Amino acid sequence: MGRIRVLKRQEPLGWRSCLVLFGAAGVSLVLSGILLGLQDRPPLTAMGVLFQGAFGSAWAIEDCLIKAVPIYLCSLGVAVAFRLQVWNIGAEGQFALGAVGATAAALYFPDLPWFLLLPYMALAAFIAGGSWGLIPALLKIRMRANEIIVTLMMNYIAILFLDYLVYGAWKDPASFGFPMTPTFTESAIVGRIGDTHLNWGLALCAVCGLLVWIFFRYTLLGYELKASGENVRAARYARLPYERLVILVMVLSGALAGWAGFIEASATLNRLQPSIMVGYGYTAIVVAWLARLNPLFIGLASFLLAGLRVGVENLQLELQVPAAFGQIMEGLILLTVLAGGFFTEYRLRLRPRP
Amino acid sequence: MTREILISLLAATVQSGTPILYATLGEIFTERSGILNLGVEGIMLVGALAGFLGAKFTGSPVSGFLLGGVFGMGLAGIHGLVCIGFNGNQVVSGLALTILGTGLANYLGTPFIGQSAPGFSPWPVPVLSRIPILGEIFFQHDFLIYISYLVPPLMWLFFRYTRWGLGLRAAGEHPAAAAAAGLNIYRFRWAGVLTGGFLAGLGGAYLSLAYTHLWTSGLTAGRGWIAVALVIFAFWHPLRAFLGAYLFGGVMAFQFRLQALGADLPSSLLLMLPYGLTILVLVLSSWRARGDQAPAFLGINVEPSE
């Protein structure tokens, strides 16, 4: 023992850190393959079915893009907060609240023309999601309450609140007792792009991503935010407005997740129902970390993890693999990437036997 | 009449507080060594499934319970590997562990939903259970609850009076000084993570073996996260964990009674109670503690030395 020395790398790995990412993905594929094999399911066939289902047809890729939209918006928000080392785990709840806000606008003003109603729904989702981010921010800076736990508890509360509405006041009388709101009117539905199944939420992603990128790259506030995230104490010493930054990132974070909820309710489901909650808010955390909080890479990672979801649906259909398999893979990928980060920071050297 | 209702409510409080107590104690042990493990929710779920399946296939609830602890320890071992072995971010690793654990429990548990396993039944302690009121509340339960009474004082004694306990706390308070004094910090942190995982796994196994007696998906319903919050409420002190765990046990028991009585409140609003209370309790205790009760190096990795 003790033959291996750990040395800190002097210069960053650069492009070779991609290799770490591939290595980590490989390890998690092997591990999840073993899990399938243990249950007498052929691992290689299963992986084939997974990839075929996710990326094997134009229809599948379209489906990946549709699912990537809410993941991207949530993840972008999460990444903004993570930049400041504020751990917003609440994208799931902020997504729920955004969907509730947009639905409220759609249900109470069904007769507005689309060019008024859609912006109004977006505003409502922004306020609802944003306020669900504001509360933990205020509790963090005023009362020093840990934002991880507060945002997580608020996820449970938001989902129960959504349930309360669709099982109660907002339930469609014509739904035969199913918990769902009436279908939105035509003007409350975000339309499709041309002849595809894709909706204009995709364009919203591009705009938001670009704005966030510009914000961090070219504005003073964005620079302050990055600096504060790297060293909170130094930032306070330099009199950067840390507290205001916390509020800013949490509201922005919540609002972006809220917009994901708005797009999902309006464009994908055309109504609000409990099945809107499929864990995009948690996937978003995995995505943000894999993409190292970079808006462009978040796009790529959102697409890939949306692909994992679509592929697992196929796996479920063809080999009766439970849907939770996707969750296992998400967890494994994140864990292996975290462990792999070690090799970007340190290198190992074998010490010759004395 | 009211006396009976009150006593049965308090006894139910102890019962529903016990899984949270185990998990909180586990997380206190882990955090004292300087490692923040946010994977408690996932660990509890895996412990619950392992306990359930262990009892089902061996026919012995005791081995099921222990198996829950062992699997909880195994899952926590992944966190140890990522954070202690590979210097990974502790917050993100814990979250990933919860995603993984939830996935594993759902994946492996799907075929068993709704099935039951041999569990624990009450065993009143001979003399103590006949004490009026106190005996009825505390000593007419199953075995696992009596064990849970012993863990906090033992942990307190361990921290306070043993060399290993001192070493473990040093790894969380001042790893550099501990290392300078010749202690192997990594070993103490590993011990903290694994023991904590074992206790959280026991908490999960308690849920499936003594609380519900059957397997459903999402059995823990956020109890692991509540435990993480209760560590702060307990100021990292094992004896104060009693207070927090029973507070939540009380709310859950109360909410369950109200629902059973058919209170004129939508169940989704009632179900919000424990989560809202968690935020309240967290805010109040963080405000009072001013943050300086936490181990100084909690969540901070120790750089591998040359």
Best B268, B284, B298 residue to mutate vs chain A (most A CBs within 10 Å): B268
Q: What is the pLDDT of residues B92-115, one digit of tens each?
A: 999 999 999 999 999 999 889 988
Cβ pair B103:A328 closer than 8 A: yes
Two structure tokens written together for B194:
């694994």
Model confidence band, residue A1 (pLDDT cutoffs 50, 70, 90): very low
The pLDDT score that the predictor gives to residue B257 is: 84
Put simply, whether A328 touches B (Cβ < 8 Å) is yes
Higher pLDDT: A230 or A267? It is: A267
Residues of B whose CB is below 8 A from A167 = 266, 268
If one compares B70 and A242, the residue with the highest pLDDT of the two is B70
User: A 63-92 residues with CB below 8 A of B?
Assistant: 87, 89
Report the alpha-carbon distance of residue B233 to residue B246 in Å, rounded. Answer: 12
CA A226 – CA A238 distance, rounded (Å): 13
pLDDT tens profile A245-289: 999 999 999 999 999 999 999 999 999 999 999 999 999 999 999
Q: Which CATH class is domain A56-301?
A: mainly alpha
B95–A285 C-beta distance less than 8 A:
yes
Q: How many CB pairs lie under 8 A apart between chains A and B?
A: 150
Q: Alpha-carbon distance A258 to A252, whole Å?
A: 10
* pLDDT tens, position by position, A59-111: 999 999 999 999 999 999 999 999 998 999 999 999 999 999 999 999 999 99
Instruction: Take residue A172 and report the two structure tokens written for it.
Output: 């469609």
Write down how long chain B is.
Answer: 306
pLDDT for residue B17? 95
The secondary structure element, H or E, covering residue A5 is strand A4-8
Is A319 near chain B, with CB under 8 Å?
A: no
DSSP string of chain B, one letter each residue: -HHHHHHHHHHHHHHHHHHHHHHHHHHHHHHHTT---TTHHHHHHHHHHHHHHHHHHHS-HHHHHHHHHHHHHHHHHHHHIIIIIT---HHHHHHHHHHHHHHHHHHHHGGGTT-B---------TTGGGSTTHHHHHSSS-HHHHHHHHHHHHHHHHHHH-HHHHHHHHHHH-HHHHHHTT--HHHHHHHHHHHHHHHHHHHHHHIIIIISSB--TT-STTHHHHHHHHHHHTTT-HHHHHHHHHHHHHHHHHHHHHHHTT-SS-HHHHHTHHHHHHHHHHHHHHHHHTTTTS-TTTT-PPPPP-
Degrees to nearest 5, angle at CA A180 with B223 and B105: 30
What DSSP string describes B26-85? HHHHHHHTT---TTHHHHHHHHHHHHHHHHHHHS-HHHHHHHHHHHHHHHHHHHHIIIII
Query: Residue B214, exposed/middle/buried by CB under 10 A (0-12, 13-18, 19+)?
Result: middle
Measured between alpha carbons, how far is B121 from A9 in angstroms, rounded to an integer? 58
Determine what percent of chain A is predicted with pLDDT higher than 90. 59
Q: Span B2-289: which CATH code?
A: 1.10.3470
Q: Quick check: A109 contacting B, CB < 8 Å?
A: no
For chain B, which ranges sit under pLDDT 70? 1, 263, 289-292, 305-306
Asked if residues B245 and B17 have their Cβ atoms less than 8 Å apart, the reply is: yes
CB contact under 8 A, B229 and A339: no
pLDDT at B306: 42
The pLDDT of residue B74 is: 97
Q: Which helix or strand (DSSP H or E) is residue A348 part of?
A: strand A346-350
Q: Where are the domains of chain A?
A: 1-37+322-354, 56-301
Would you tell me which residues 175-234 of chain B have a C-beta closer than 8 angstroms to some C-beta of chain A?
A: 222, 225, 228-229, 232
| Average pLDDT score over residue span A229-233 | 78
Measured between alpha carbons, how far is residue B52 from residues B40, B107, B169, B218, B225 in Å? 18, 15, 34, 14, 21
Express each pLDDT in B216-237 by its tens digit. Answer: 888 989 999 999 999 999 999 9
What does the pLDDT average to over A138-147?
Answer: 91
- pLDDT, tens only, A182-210: 999 988 898 888 888 888 999 999 999 99
What pLDDT does A13 receive?
66
| Radius of gyration (C-alpha) of chain A in whole angstroms | 22
The burial of B305, by beta-carbon neighbours within 10 Å (0-12 exposed, 13-18 middle, 19 or more buried), is given as: exposed
